Structure 1
Amino acid sequence: MPAAPSAGPQVTREDQASINAFGRLNNQYHEIQGKIKAKKKYSEDLEDASNELMLADGDTVKYSYGWVFVHMDEETADDKLTAERDEVEEDVTKLEGELGDVRTKMDELKATLYSKFGNTINLEE
């Protein structure tokens, strides 16, 4: 009679909590990556708008506030674009910091779980 295959280490409640925490962190990691990508795209759009503003000949331009366009002079519009771009860059820096924190926690959980379960567990994104 052949021997029963080894089932590997037993999964405890704490192990399952760690696996679930890794899954939540992985989802959070991907959400933050998406936010960073969107913010960077928005920053590029603001840069393009600023470049277009330099090419404008008139004294007034249309500046978008949400769904409304407001007439303002070029200098004021450029100041607003610069302020918005700076704010977006701060947001990106903050999000990248959060991304690093989440990645660190994921790596800690991954190391702990792989040390116990070895190749019997797959914690890749």
Structure 2
Amino acid sequence: MSVTIDSKKDVTVEREDQEKINKFSRLNMKCTELIEDKKQMQQDLDALEDAELAIEEAFGEDGTLKVFMGEIMFDCYEDEAEIHHMRMMEEKKEKMDEVQDQIDDVEKEMKTLKAELYAKFGKAINLEKE
């Protein structure tokens, strides 16, 4: 397989190079998925923050809140609701941090591969996002 450059000089793509290109492509797809996951988590976290205000407003005089889970309605006390809410927010933030760490690792590996491939192929290869 040859890749043609503007100067009409052919560059041979060896098996090792093709494996690096394929790996870069897989990492790029994984990075895109992780970024989308993180965006969704941020939206979920924003919804949890909005729910905090709704929880505070919805408590009755007796300090309870009616909660629906599926087809069941039960009373939930303010302290329990706040503790559960805080736990959910902390878990979501921890998951977001984990995803960000994964994104950082993938981007670091992509940067290394990109440098190697551009060093060999120059302008004959395009690894930039569109």
Q: 2: distance between equivalents of 1:23 and 1:14? A: 14
1:90–1:63: structure 2 CA closer, same or farther, 3 Å change rule? Answer: farther
1:60, distance to aligned residue in structure 2 (A): 2.1
1:57, distance to aligned residue in structure 2 (A): 3.7
Per the alignment, residue 103 of structure 1 pairs with: 107
Query: Are the aligned partners of 2:31 and 2:107 in contact in 1 as well (CA < 8 Å)?
Result: yes
1:62, distance to aligned residue in structure 2 (A): 3.6
Q: Which runs of 5+ in 1 are unaligned?
A: none
What is the TM-score of this pair, normalised by structure 1? 0.88
1:79 and 2:83 are equivalent in the alignment: yes
* Paired residue type of 1:47: E
Q: 2: distance between equivalents of 1:35 and 1:70? A: 32
* Paired residue type of 1:74: E
1:49 and 2:51 are equivalent in the alignment: yes
* Paired residue type of 2:9: S
Per the alignment, residue 31 of structure 2 pairs with: 29
Where does structure 1 differ by over 2 angstroms across 4 or more consecutive aligned residues?
62-65, 67-71
Aligned pairs, number: 120
- Equivalent residue of 1:123, what SS? coil
CA deviations 1:16-38 (Å, max 9, x no partner) are: 00000000000000010011011
* Paired residue type of 1:85: M
What is the TM-score of this pair, normalised by structure 2? 0.85
Per the alignment, residue 15 of structure 2 pairs with: 13
Aligned-pair identity (%): 34
Using CA pairs below 8 Å that are at least 6 residues apart, which structure has the higher relative contact order?
1
Q: 1: distance between equivalents of 2:30 and 2:84? A: 32
Greater CA deviation, 48-57 or 35-44?
A: 48-57
